[in-house]
A and B are shown apart, each in its own frame.
Chain A
Amino acid sequence: MNFEAASAVLAFPRIMPAQRKLLAALLFSLCAASLAHPYPACAAAFFAFLLLPFSGLEARFIRRRLRAINLFLLPLWLLLPLSFSPLSPPVPDETILPLGPLFILPSRFATALLITLKGNAIAAALLALTGSSSPAENNRALRSLHVPDKMIALLIIIQTNLELMSRESAQVFQAARLRGFVPRSSPASWRIYARLIGLLLLRSWQRARRVEQAMLLRGFAGAFPSFPQSGTECRTDANACSGAFRVCCLTALLLAVWDFMI
C-alpha cells in the first residue's frame, strides 16, 4: 500500500462520503444497541473510540460532547440498582441490601455498565462519522437516502434559524437583566419568564411571516435546490473509502453475531 492510500484509509472518517458515513453509523448504532453482554459492548466501545482520532475533530470538542452524554447516563448508575421487590433478584443467591422501602441489587451495576458502554460506543461512532460531516453534507446524505424533501427543508430551516433564535433569546433576557430582573423561583419571576418567552415567539412569528413572503415570491415550493458535492468528497480515494466503509459495517455485524453466540 503506498503512502497516499494509507493516509486515505487513516483519514476515512473525514473523506468518506457523508451518505456512507450515515449508513455505517446507522448500522453500527443498530448492532451496538442490540448487544446484551459486556464483552461485545466493550469491543464496540473500543472500536468506536478508535475512530475518534481519525475524525479530524478537536480533542476538547470530543471530551465536551462525551462528558455531556455521560452526564445523562449518570442517573442510571444511581437508579438501576434500586428495586421495589426483593423477590426476583437477577442473579440467584444475590445479596440484597435493604434501603428504606427499596432494595439494592448489586448485580444491576453490570446492567448500568452495559448501558454506559453501549451509549458511549454509539455516541463515539456518531461523533466520528456524522459529527465529522458538515450540516450541508449530512442534509445531502439524507436526501440521497430518499428522506422526503419537506423534511430536508425543515432541517435546513431549523438549522439556520436555531442559532439566530438562541441569540435573540439571549438578547431578550440580557435586556431584562439590565432592567434589574433577577431570576428567582417565584411566581413573579415566572411571570416575567412567560412574557419574555412570549416576546421571543412574537418576534419569531414576525420574522417567519417576512421570510415566508420573501421565499414564496422567489418561487419556494417546499424544497431547497441541492448544490453539487463539495471538493472533499470529490477527492475521496474511492477504494480506501469503500474498504473503510466495509470494515465499519463488518465490525458492527461481527459484534452482533459474537453477542448472539455468547
Chain B
Amino acid sequence: MHISEGALSIPVLAGGAVLAAPALAVSLRRLPPDRLMSAGILGAAFFAASLLHIPLGPGSVHLILNGLLGAVLGVAVFPAISAALVLQALLLQFGGLTTLGVNICIMGYPALICGYLARPYFQAANSKRACAAFVCGAGGVCLSALLAALALALSGEAFFAPALSILLYHIPIMFLEGFLTMLIVAYLARTMPDILEYSRGRREF
C-alpha cells in the first residue's frame, strides 16, 4: 500500500520525509551488522509473500504483512521496508522518490507499533497468541490505511473521497490479514519458534 507520485501536496511530502528520516536513522544505527543478512532475506521473503493473490469475494487481494514483518524483524523493519520501497521506486517506478518519506511512514510506523505491542504475546498460551497475532495483522493494515487516508486528506479537500475509499477498501483486507497472520503465527510457533524470537536476538547457531 503506497501512494504514487503527483498526488500529494508539497507540505505532506516534506512532513513524510521529516518523520521518516529520524526513525530510519535510529533503526539503522540499532541494527547490528551481523543481522543484516537475515533481516534482508526475511524481508525479501515477506515481500515475495505479499505479492500473492489471495481470493476474497469475487476478486483477489494482495496481503501487506507489515504487522507480522514488524513482529518478526523488530527494529529492522524500518530499513527493510525502506529498502524495498527504494527498489520499487528505482527499478519498477512504483511509488517514487518524492513520496518515499510518506510511503515509509505509511508502511513502517504501523509495522513497528503493531510488532512491538504484539511480540510479547507470541510466546503466551494459544488463545492469547492468536488474539495478539490477529490484532497485529489487522492493526498493521488498519493503521497503514489510516495514515494513507490522512496523507491524502491533508493534501486537499479534493482527496476526501479517495481517502475514504482507501479506508473502506481495506476493511475486508484488514480482517483477512488478521485471520491469516493468526494462522501463520500459530504455524511458525509450532514448527520454528526461533523466527518469532528473531527480534529479541536469542538465536542458537
**Same complex:** yes
Report which A residues bind B (CB closer than 8 A).
25-26, 29-30, 32-34, 65, 68-69, 72-73, 75-76, 79-80, 82-84, 88, 90, 102, 108, 111, 114-119, 121-123, 126-127, 130-131, 135, 138, 142, 148, 150-151, 153-159, 161-162, 164-166, 168-169, 173, 183-185, 187, 189-191, 193-195, 197-209, 211-213, 215-216, 220-223
Inter-subunit contact B92/A158 (CB<8 Å): no
Report which B residues bind A (CB closer than 8 A).
4-8, 10, 13, 28, 31, 33-49, 51-58, 63, 72, 79-80, 82-84, 86-87, 89-94, 96-99, 157-162, 165, 176, 179-180, 183-184, 187-188, 191-192, 194-195, 198, 203, 205
* Contact A150/B33 with A158-B47, A197-B184 known, Cβ cut-off 8 Å: yes
Minimum CB distance partner of B156 in chain A: A111
Inter-subunit contact A123/B86 (CB<8 Å): no
Partner of B83 from A88, A154, A220 at Cβ < 8 Å = A154
Inter-subunit contact A33/B80 (CB<8 Å): no
Minimum CB distance partner of B47 in chain A: A162
* Contact A65/B93 with A150-B33, A161-B41 known, Cβ cut-off 8 Å: yes
Q: Is the interface of A mostly helix, strand, loop or mixed?
A: helix
- When distances are taken between beta carbons in the complex, the residues of chain B under 8 Å from A114 are 6
- When distances are taken between beta carbons in the complex, the residues of chain B under 8 Å from A185 are 55-58
Inter-subunit contact B161/A204 (CB<8 Å): no
* Contact A166/B48 with A126-B93, A155-B83 known, Cβ cut-off 8 Å: yes
- When distances are taken between beta carbons in the complex, the residues of chain B under 8 Å from A33 are 5-6, 8, 10, 13, 96, 98-99
- When distances are taken between beta carbons in the complex, the residues of chain B under 8 Å from A199 are 187
Chain A nearest CB from B58 CB (Å) reads: 8
